[in-house]
Amino acid sequence: MTEQKKKSISLSSKLKSSLDFLFPFLIIGIVWEILVQTGIIELRSLPAPSTLLAKFWELTFVNGILWKHLGSSLYRLATGYLLAVLIGTALGALLAQKPLLHDMFEPSLNLLMSVPTIAWIPIFLITLGLGDKTVIIAIFTSSFFAITYNTMRGIEMIDKSIVNAAHLMGLHGLNLFLEVLLPASMLSIINGLRLAIGYAWRALVGGELLAAMIEWGLGKMVYQARYFNDASVMLLGLLIIGITGFLLDKTFLTILERNTVEKWGMTAKK
Amino acid sequence: MRRKIFLAILPIVIFLLAWEVSARLEWVNPVLFPAPSAILNELVDLFQEGLPAHSILINHTLATLKRLGIGFSVGVLAGVLMGVLMGLSNPSFHFFNPLILVLMSIPGIALAPLFIIWLGFGDPTIITLGALSTFFPVVYSTTTGVRSVDRQMVRAAQIMGASRLQVITSVYIPWSAAFVFNGIKLGLARGWMTVIAVEFVAASNYGLGYMIWYATERLKADVVYAGILVMILIYFILDKLLIGNVEKKTISRWGMITQKQEE
Amino acid sequence: MDPIIQIQDLYKTFTENDKELVALDHINLDIPRNQFTVLIGPSGCGKTTLLNTIAGFEKATSGKILLDGKPILKPAPDRGYVFQDYALFPWLTVLGNITFGLTHNGWEKKGAEEKAREYIDLVHLQGFEEAYPHTLSGGMKQRVAIARALAYNPEVLLMDEPFGALDAQTRKHMQRELVKILEKEQKTVVFVTHSVIEAVFLADLVIVMTARPGKVKGMVKIDLPRKRSYVEDHYLHYREQILELLEEEVEKGFED
Ligand SMILES: Nc1ncnc2c1ncn2[C@@H]1O[C@H](COP(=O)(O)OP(=O)(O)OP(=O)(O)O)[C@@H](O)[C@H]1O
Ligand SMILES: [Mg+2]
């Protein structure tokens, strides 16, 4: 099969699978719309999909409020999460290389990793205030431990002969880390990143919702709508939270995975 | 071994000591960072408050546990049933899977405002959201488990005379057990988190989350820390004692835990 | 000859990615009763497919298979199947695995366990009744699988490369064991293998299949006493005969 043919097939199959994915949403939307239009269900707190679409139009293209909410959320997420990735992988690598540090911190790390995300938020609200800082640090904290732990485990499980070979070739320090340790432990690191993005997403939405001084953000959008009893804004916000959370995992992590461990044939075990 | 335990405890002890000292010497604001001893004191106070008739702390905790208990049970039951259905029937998998993937990305607390409109403050909203957040990981794992059933094993059962229903009970369900447990563990973590988080915003007067949030808004840091400590402890107890034990008697004994699955 | 299984004009296709693939091409074959029949052929020629259609796991596209004159429609306990990768239930003990076929066929628990113990003795696994499969070696697992398939007394035993995953030593040992077991248990066996040596050691009748699409290329009757050695002259003669039939097909398989 030629390259081009392969590509066009994978493209059309991609299109087909995204259509398959959207199909149930479409069906539910239509059924729901019919139920509301014919008056079979009549609830002020359950708006019809057409109302939601109109609202969506208004919030995106008329006043653009939705973009502002989404933008603030993504900004916070990116700041907290990337910070956790940077510091977490570095610390994980350090712990993996020094047995003494490993023995000292592995148990605490394990413990801290299983502390529910929601536990951090009140603590940070009290100590850091009710604004942006709290949310970003909550995102950082809830993703940091999982990333550190999985990086550490990943590097510790690397075949010793690979590391020895690298030493023989004269690799040390940062070069050794970037060129050998990082790729060799990628499977475990991605595992950590995936866990962490889920935690971070929860911390973000929860934090935005609970931090009183925050005005913008998807969590706030949903929470504020409560004061106006505006179920359509709420439903819209929730839908966008769900879709964005899902896409974060599906796009960014899947792309990373495809370009690293899958390309290197490290996922055969699955 | 002893060395390992010593090394593991060392940083925790140093951290707590440093905290204790800096709080006492007021290097940090003791209102925001009350000393560990003060937190423990508060914990005892909370426990004793209202004794002998009842204990405030226990009342809050029981209220939360009751909500979790109902929500979690409903979530697990519905999740396993739905997961088996989705695992066995391809059309239902293709229909529900996208919905579940998107819905499970919504943190439980974000659903609270909507459910408060629908069900009002208090138990109905908290329990429903606890059930929902348990439900999703359970469905997801159960479905994955049932869909991964070894076809040869199904065939082995069929040729030995097992009926359709017997194949489900004697092959599909035990096969999926490892996945279901993993889902239940995750579901418990999510359920516990969600119940407490929703209590922050939707509880009317009882619950650990209510207690923590009430204290947060009034900057009573010692109560907040004490509450969170209880919340974490209970979570560990539930996870290790309840689920860990069932796991040991089943999938570990069958050699079906290949690699430690992470939460 | 009194055939227990009659395969009549069996035709089987698979559809994958909208493409049709002929796996079995109009096969006509009689499997003799109470004899050991071996299916051999190049990889991908449809041996497993044929065995699975006899088992009732796969449906014929056209044509049919009769067992004692009645068409096979679905898997049923008048047949037993031994899988290459054992397919033991990891959540059941050795005893539990072997009683499975009995309790699902109307046996009381107690009687079933007694019966199962007989078969545990037969395959020399005394002392491992309560062991879980993951604690056993490959050879032991396959013994459990054989005991499990025999215990509920099916008329036909279907075996798909049952020793394929074992090391050479264990494999020879299991072949001898199987011969001994079948001396005690009169059974019709249909056995798939890649190994000509194994085929000649075990078979009364060897059926050689063509490269895909699978047809019957030829049959070789093995007229040797049950107790065989691997080195006798006759033995070598049969081996040559089968190899000749096979080689043509293997080459063909590589041509397309
Ligand atoms: N479920 C299936 N779907 C599609 N194609 C199949 C399926 N099962 C088998 N085939 C195809 O049918 C052909 C015959 O397969 P089969 O497994 O019966 O061969 P075999 O003789 O047992 O091979 P081997 O010696 O390698 O085990 C192969 O080309 C295989 O790819
Ligand atoms: Mg085969």
pLDDT recorded at residue A7: 53
What is the token pair recorded at C121?
A: 């003795």
Query: With an 8 Å Cβ cutoff, is A16 touching chain B?
Result: no
If asked whether residues B23 and B107 sit together in one domain, one would say no
For residues B173 and B196, membership in a common domain is answered with yes
Same domain, C71 and C11: yes
Cβ-defined contact of B160 to C105 (cutoff 8 Å): yes
- Closest alpha carbon within chain A to B28: A127
pLDDT at B58: 92
Residue A19 lies in a domain: no
| pLDDT > 90 in chain C, percent | 52
- The response to whether residue C16 sits with its C-beta less than 6 Å from ligand 1 reads yes
Q: Which of B107, B219, B228 sits opposite A123 (nearest CB)?
A: B228
ipTM passes above 0.95: no
Please report whether residue C15 resides in a domain. Answer: yes
Q: Name every chain B residue with its beta carbon within 8 A of the beta carbon of A201.
A: 105, 107
Calpha distance A93→A111 (Å, rounded): 19
Contacts of B224 in chain A (CB under 8 A): 122-123, 126
Cβ(C47) to ligand 1 under 6 A?
A: yes
Domain hosting residue C9, numbered range: 1-78+154-227
For a substitution probing ligand 1, which of C24, C40, C43, C48 has the most ligand atoms within 8 Å of its CB? C48
Task: Tell me whether residue C243 is in a domain.
Answer: no
**Tokens 């226990």 belong to which residue?**
B58
B151 and B95 in one domain?
A: yes
Within a domain: C95: yes
Closest CA to A202 of B127, B197, B213: B197
Judge if C176 and C55 occupy the same domain: yes
CB–CB contact B98 A231 (8 Å): no
- B15-49 in b/e burial notation, b at 16+ Cβ within 10 A? eeeebeeebeeeeeebeebbbbebbeebbeebbee
DSSP-derived 3-state class of residue C31: strand
Q: Average pLDDT of A228-240? A: 89
Residue type, C174: M
Instruction: Order the strands of the C36-40 sheet from edge to edge.
Output: C79-82, C156-160, C188-193, C36-40, C205-209, C216-221
| Ligand 1 touching residue C188 (CB < 6 A) | no
Same domain for C92 and C147?
yes
CB–CB contact C75 B158 (8 Å) = yes
Asked whether residue A270 carries a pLDDT value surpassing 50, the answer given is no
Helix (H) or strand (E) holding B94: helix B90-103
pLDDT at B108: 92
pLDDT in tens, B151-161: 999 999 999 99
C99 and C71 part of one domain: no
- Nearest atom in ligand 1 to the alpha carbon of residue C192 is 22
Domain end call among C114, C131, C153: C153
Whether B192 and B112 map to the same domain: the answer is yes
Summarize the confidence of residues A238-252 as an average pLDDT: 91
For B27, the domain range is 1-33
pLDDT band at A4 (very low <50, low <70, confident <90, very high): low
User: Does any domain span residue A167?
Assistant: yes
Say whether both C213 and C158 belong to one domain.
yes
- Pair B59, B114 in one domain: yes
CA distance C41 to chain B (A): 22
> Does residue B195 or residue A36 have the better pLDDT?
B195
Residue A200: inside a domain, yes or no? Answer: yes
C237 pLDDT band (50/70/90 cuts)? confident
* CB spacing of C81 vs B177 below 8 angstroms: no
In sequence order, what are the residues at sequence separation of 6 or more whose Cβ sits closer than 8 angstroms to the Cβ of residue A108? B8, B11, B12
Task: Answer whether residue B261 shows pLDDT above 50.
Answer: no
Show the DSSP H helices in chain C as ranges: 47-55, 94-103, 109-122, 138-151, 168-184, 196-202, 233-255
Supply A31's token pair: 């059924």
- Range(s) of the domain holding residue A86: 69-217
Q: Inform me whether the pLDDT recorded for C63 exceeds 60.
A: yes
Report the percentage of chain A scoring pLDDT > 90.
46
Is the CB of B174 less than 8 angstroms away from the CB of C89?
A: yes
| Same domain membership, residue B187 and residue B118 | yes
With CB atoms and an 8 Å threshold, state whether C55 touches B159.
yes
Q: Do B116 and A226 touch (CB under 8 A)?
A: yes
Of the candidate ranges A124-133, A249-258, B89-98, the one whose mean pLDDT is the lowest: A249-258
Report, as an integer, the average pLDDT of B195-216: 91
Residue B228 sits in the same domain as residue B199: yes
Within a domain: residue A237? no
Domain boundary pick from C153, C179, C195: C153
Q: Looking at the structure, do residues B130 and B6 belong to the same domain, yes or no?
A: no
Of the ranges A148-162, B22-36, B69-83, the best mean pLDDT one: B69-83
* Contact residues for C203 (Cβ-Cβ < 8 A; gap 6+): C36, C37, C38, C191, C222
Which residues on chain B are in Cβ contact (under 8 Å) with C133?
255
Ligand 1, atom 30: nearest CA belongs to which residue?
A: C44
B80 — pLDDT class (breaks 50, 70, 90): very high
How does residue B257 score in pLDDT terms, banded at 50, 70 and 90?
low
Question: Which of C72, C89, C141 has the most B C-beta neighbours within 10 Å, making it the best mutation to test the interface with B?
Answer: C89
Q: Decide if B96 touches A, using CB distance below 8 A.
A: yes
Q: Do C104 and B254 touch (CB under 8 A)?
A: no
User: Is C11 in the same domain as C69?
Assistant: yes
Please give the model's pTM, rounded to 2 decimal places.
Answer: 0.83
Residues in chain A with CB shorter than 8 Å from the CB of B3 are: 103
Shared domain for C111 and C178, answered yes or no, is no
Residue B180 has pLDDT above 80, yes or no: yes
Q: Tell me, what's the pLDDT at A144?
A: 96
Tokens describing residue B218: 């009034």
Q: Are residues C58 and C47 in the same domain?
A: yes
Question: Are C131 and C160 contained in the same domain?
Answer: no
CATH code for position C61? 3.40.50.300
Q: How confident is the model at residue A167 (pLDDT cuts 50, 70, 90)?
A: confident
Query: In this predicted structure, what is the pLDDT of residue C236?
Result: 79
Is C48 close to ligand 1, i.e. is its CB under 6 Å away? Answer: yes
Is A263 a domain residue?
Answer: no
What are the strands of the beta sheet with C3-16, ordered from one edge? C19-32, C3-16, C62-67, C70-71
- Asked if C30 and C73 sit in the same domain, the reply is yes
Confirm or reject contact between A251 and chain B (CB < 8 A).
no
Q: How far is B152 from chain C (nearest CA, A)?
A: 6
Instruction: Name the token pair of C170.
Output: 């264990």
CB of C74 closer than 8 Å to CB of C129: no
Work out how many domains chain B is built from and give that number.
Answer: 2
A204: CATH: 1.10.3720.10
Residue B236: predicted pLDDT: 86
Q: What pLDDT does residue B260 have? A: 40
> What was the pLDDT predicted at C253?
59
Same domain assignment for residues B68 and B94: yes
pLDDT of residue A254: 85
Interface of B with C (CB under 8 A): 150, 152-153, 155-162, 166, 170-171, 174-175, 177, 250, 253-256
Q: Evaluate: CB of C23 within 6 angstroms of ligand 1.
A: yes
Q: How far is the centre of ligand 1, averaged over its atoms, from the C-alpha of C144 (Å)?
A: 26
On whether residue A104 sits in a domain, the answer given is yes
CA distance C46 to chain B (A): 17
Q: Give residues 51 to 90 of B whose Cβ lies within 8 Å of A.
A: none
Statement to judge: residues B10 and B55 lie in one domain? no
Percent of chain B with pLDDT over 70: 97
Percent of chain B with pLDDT over 90: 65
Residues B248 and B153 reside in one and the same domain? yes
* Domain boundary, last residue among C153, C173, C203: C153
Average the pLDDT over A251-256 and give the result.
85
Same domain, B187 and B59: yes
CATH number at residue B253: 1.10.3720.10
In a domain, C242, yes or no: no
Tell if the CB–CB gap between B155 and C89 is shorter than 8 Å. no
When CB atoms are compared, the residue of B157, B170, B253 closest to C132 is B253
What's the whole-number mean pLDDT along residues B103-118?
92
pLDDT in tens, C145-167: 999 999 999 999 999 999 988 88
How many domains are there within chain A? 1
Do C4 and C73 sit in the same domain of this protein? Answer: yes
Residues within 5 A (CB) of ion ligand 2: C 48
Same domain, C54 and C161: yes
Note the pLDDT tens digit of each residue in A64-123.
Answer: 899 999 999 999 999 999 999 999 999 999 999 888 999 999 989 988 888 888 899 999
Tell me if A211 is assigned to some domain.
Answer: yes
CB contact under 8 A, C89 and B171: yes
Touching A (3+ Cβ pairs <8 A), the chains are B
More confident residue, C60 or A268: C60
pLDDT-derived band at A47, boundaries 50, 70, 90: confident
Count of domains in chain C?
A: 2
Q: Is the CB of C44 under 6 A from ligand 1?
A: yes
> What is the C-alpha separation between C125 and B5, in angstroms, rounded?
44
Model confidence at B195: pLDDT above 70: yes
